[in-house]
Amino acid sequence: MRNHTHQISRKTLKHILFALFFIGSLGTPKASAFFQQEDQEQEIGFDQYKGKIMDSDSKKPLVFATLTVENTNISTISNTEGEFALKVPESMKEGNVIVAFLGYKNKSIPLSQFKEENNKIYLDVFVEMLGEVSLSVPKDAEELVRETLKGRGQNYFSDPTLMTAFYRETIKKRKKNVSLSEAVVNIYKSPYNSNKKDGVKLYKARKSTDYNKLDTVALKLQGGPFNALYVDIMKYPEYIFQEKSLGMYNFSFDRSTRVDDRRIFVINFTQKPGIAEQLYKGQLFIDAERKILTSAIYSLNITDKYEAAKLFVRKKPANAKVWPNKIAYRVDYREKNGKWYYGYSNVLLEFKIDWDKKLFNSVYSLSCEMAVTDWEKNLTNEMPKARDRIKTSIILGDEAVGFADPDFWGEYNIIEPEKSIESAIKKIQRQLKKSKNKAAGSPAP
């Protein structure tokens, strides 16, 4: 029985986050990749608002807060510095933007009060007094999790849905940026009560790479948007909480909070002692009255670094040993007309590389995130043709064509870049421009 369970969990983990690639030596970066021309969309027909979301007391940025135009499917999310960029149709002059963050009171702000730049939004922590508790805590945390998983067909989207999403993946060596790839994708989302996999079509993509030395290897992430999409626990419970693995965890109640005036129980889970498999630990945020998962934050419980490495590393140099330090996930759901759906997810992978005959090791981190920015019912249940559908083996950095005009994304909502990424892109573009001018025999500006 133990051997059978081990095989199940290993297969599961191999598919939740596809693979790391360590491929050969780097060649000389090609300047043309950063200046390749794109089909540009004119920035007309919408207004863009930028700003920052912060805790009202500490003034600290709120990471991954959600902004949604009320009664529409238009939304975006704040970055790791709390900053956001929200695009809405130019014709939409009235309406409210709902700003939400787990454990905080929602804030409704009229569109007419937004400025184009420097909007500062402060949210208040939600504090629940004991006297306000109206729901008794369920006796069995595991049973609540099981009932939540069973109810996905009735509580989450039951119609085929076509979603537009923004995807970004970043690779860093220690704290230095190595690679950035971004894409707008169409997700052909099948109903939550269906076992049919989602289809993904790449609409636009761009990249910026090779502006730091990478030891002598190129580090790539296989799977692209699927890495973020398969973190959707309610659509793909088999990748973490399949029926046979639920009994391998201990579930317990932690505390409660509120989301949109609904009481949410926070449930801790961790693998049981004595289990050697590489499972997970983390927290589930469940609406106990309706039995709905609203968010989940969890990480791989690395009990054996050798086994964990096998799950993620496909190729590597012979003179290097690669160990995972941290593998972490997050998924957030949104609600519309009583039904919930996948809204945002992110993944962080941190690895240490031990080189033979080298005194110092290298530490790399890979992160990817995806946010749904718009959706509509897929009434015809259309799926992309096989030639247009991206494969789960995609390496986005190889598909993207380069960084171009800042208006590249047109009307699409994207996650605001971190300042460090923006600086790195500007730096490499200046360097490449100087090299280009020098090669042409003209003085660099």
> What pLDDT band is residue 428 in, cutting at 50, 70 and 90?
low
Position 445 pLDDT exceeds 60: no
The pLDDT assigned to 7 comes to 39
What is the average per-residue pLDDT within 62-73? 92
pLDDT at 342: 96
Please report the pLDDT score of residue 10 as a whole number.
42
* pLDDT greater than 60 at residue 387: yes
> Which comes out higher in pLDDT, residue 431 or 224?
224
- Extract the tokens encoding 364: 């790399």
The answer to whether the predicted template modeling score (pTM) of the entire model surpasses 0.85 is: no
Nearest alpha-carbon partner for 64 in 76, 50, 77: 77
Q: What are phi and psi of 177, to 5 degrees?
A: -70, 135
Hey, how many other C-beta atoms are within 10 angstroms of the C-beta on 257?
19
Over the stretch 188-215, which tens digit does the pLDDT of each residue have? 999 999 989 999 999 999 887 654 444 5
pLDDT of residue 236: 93
CB neighbours of 155 closer than 8 A, spacing ≥ 6?
Answer: 290, 291, 292, 339, 340
- Reference 184, options 408, 418, 424; nearest CA is 408
pLDDT band at 438 (very low <50, low <70, confident <90, very high): low
Output the CA–CA distances (angstroms, integers) from residue 124 to 57, 62, 111, in the order listed.
8, 11, 20
Asked if 64 and 345 count as a contact pair (C-beta separation under 8 A), the reply is: no
Q: Which are the contacts of 359, defined by CB distance < 8 A and separation ≥ 6? A: none
Pairing of strands 19-23, 313-315: parallel
Using 50, 70 and 90 to split pLDDT, how confident is the model at 11?
Answer: very low
CA–CA separation, 78 vs 62, rounded Å? 8
28 vs 224: which has the higher pLDDT: 224
Q: What is the mean pLDDT of residues 35-40?
A: 34
Q: What average pLDDT does the segment 403-424 reach?
A: 78
- DSSP states along 189-234: EPPTT--PPPEEEEEEEEEEE-SS--TT-EEEEESTHHHHHTT-TT
Share of residues in the chain with pLDDT > 90 (%) = 44
Q: Are 228 and 370 in contact (CB under 8 A)?
A: yes
Which tokens belong to 349? 């992978």
Which two structure tokens, joined as six digits, stand for 142? 């595991």
pLDDT at 328 over 90: yes
What pLDDT was estimated at residue 306? 86
Q: Report the pLDDT averaged over residues 32-55.
A: 62
Inform me whether the pLDDT recorded for 39 exceeds 60: no
Burial of 384 (0-12, 13-18, 19+ CB in 10 A): middle
Residue 21, pLDDT above cutoff 60: no
Q: Would you say residue 230 has pLDDT above 90?
A: yes
Which residue carries 């929200």 as its tokens? Answer: 86
For position 213, what pLDDT does the model report?
A: 47
What pLDDT does residue 225 have? 94
pLDDT digits (tens, 9 = 90+) for 148-177: 999 998 999 999 999 999 999 998 887 777
Q: What would the pLDDT profile of 271-320 be if each residue is shown by its tens digit?
A: 999 888 889 999 999 997 889 999 999 999 998 888 888 888 877 778 88
Mean pLDDT in the chain? Answer: 81
Asked if residue 401 has pLDDT above 80, the reply is no
Residues 78-84, mean pLDDT to the nearest whole number: 93
